[in-house]
Amino acid sequence: MLPVNKWSCLVTGAGGFLGQRIVRLLLEEEQELEEIRLLDKVFSPQLLLEFSELKHKTKVTVLQGDILDEELLHSACQGVTAVIHSASIIDTGLWRKKDIIMNVNMKGTQLLLEACIAADVPIFLYTSSVEVAGPNSYMKSVRNGHEDDLLESKWNNAYPYSKKLAEKAVLAADGQLLRNGTILHTCSLRPVYIYGEGSIFLQYEINCALKNDKTFARKSEGSMANQVYVDNVAWAHILALRTLRDPEKAQSIGGHFYYITDDTPPQSYSDFNYEVSKEWGFKLGSKIGIPITLLYWAAFILEMISFMLSPILIYEPPFNCHLITLTNSVFTLSYKKAKEDLGYEPRVSWLEAKKKTSQWIGTLVAKNRENLKIKAP
């Protein structure tokens, strides 16, 4: 048993882009945190060193392993007060890694949930995704959408489908009576596109632009979406966890999901990439000449070809209907409910987030310049 008011937490995906931010905040902000267990397949030595320097009085236990390892999960959950499940595989493909994505995102969540119930863990906080909600059509606009709209993705692509099923399992488990007489309370956070220093997706876009004379391909015209800074998403997890740890408040948010955005101005993904990198000479390409409708139907035909070939060959189309919809829709959401129920307010302003992200992009530009010098004859 832990001392009175002392508690412990297991964080999955603790070595990842978001997970490591959550861990940092837990170590910095939660003075009564007795132990934090970090579970992931890979941890960098630098990250482990940083965690050890931040830990203060908190015991840090590193558990390197797979989310599908049932024995590991049951061991990791023993004696834990709360679980933050942020481990996930993110992908926009049609067939690529489909089985792996379904296993990790859906089955892994179910196994972790079962391990929590077996170990009488009363709090389960799930990192979901905006793609659980949509967008479903580039022709239908959603502006300042909120939780009461009950938006739900129609896509069967592995990532949105696996996250949707996993979230439903987590929220359905809320209110379950555990063997020790306590009640399990669950909650889900749905962050939008997460950016910031270390984002592999933003790094990919920067690297592509560097190979194209610092020019971003303009992938959408007239679209609008939310982007959220990674530290603000991590802060939302801390606040949600605090709310779940309060017996009275936990009942009001248990079984609910919350959209997590911040004050980053909604814009197209292409415009966003340009906005955070223009300081380093990046620019936007010319406007798209191909109508979106034509692109969508081309994607549909490629998907049909892929489906017909699937019995004998796995063909991954270069783009698909879900990706075209995702990058060409007007789909913005509000964090009003998270503010009301969780007390969430962005900790990092848009200007500060843009500055930090831009400085990081500057290091990528410098690294690319050095690599070119090394390759030069």
Q: Which pLDDT score, from 0 to 100, does residue 2 have?
A: 41
Q: Which domains does the chain have, with CATH numbers?
A: 7-198+228-263+332-347 (3.40.50.720)
The Cα 129–Cα 186 span in angstroms is 16
Is 289 a residue whose pLDDT tops 70?
A: no
Q: Which pLDDT tens digit goes with each residue over 41-57? A: 999 888 888 887 766 68
The Cα 7–Cα 80 span in angstroms is 8
Which member of 126, 159, 259, 344 is catalytic?
Answer: 159
Q: Which pLDDT score, from 0 to 100, does residue 369 have?
A: 84
The beta strand positions in 54-110, using DSSP E, are: 59-64, 82-85
* pTM check: above 0.75: yes
Cβ neighbours of 92 (radius 10 Å): 17
Is 174 a residue whose pLDDT tops 80?
A: yes
The mean pLDDT value of the chain amounts to: 93
pLDDT band at 370 (very low <50, low <70, confident <90, very high): confident
The Cα 87–Cα 97 span in angstroms is 16
DSSP output for 17-31: TTHHHHHHHHHHH-T
Q: Which pLDDT tens digit goes with each residue over 96-115? A: 788 999 999 999 999 999 99
Q: Which pLDDT tens digit goes with each residue over 101-155? A: 999 999 999 999 999 999 999 999 999 999 999 999 999 999 999 999 999 999 9
315 included as an active-site residue: no
Beta-carbon contacts of residue 179 (< 8 Å; ≥ 6 apart) = 120
Is 201 a residue whose pLDDT tops 70?
A: yes
The burial of 217, by beta-carbon neighbours within 10 Å (0-12 exposed, 13-18 middle, 19 or more buried), is given as middle
What's the start-to-end Cα distance of the chain, in Å? Answer: 65
Identify the bridge partners of residue 259 per DSSP, sorted by sequence position: 190
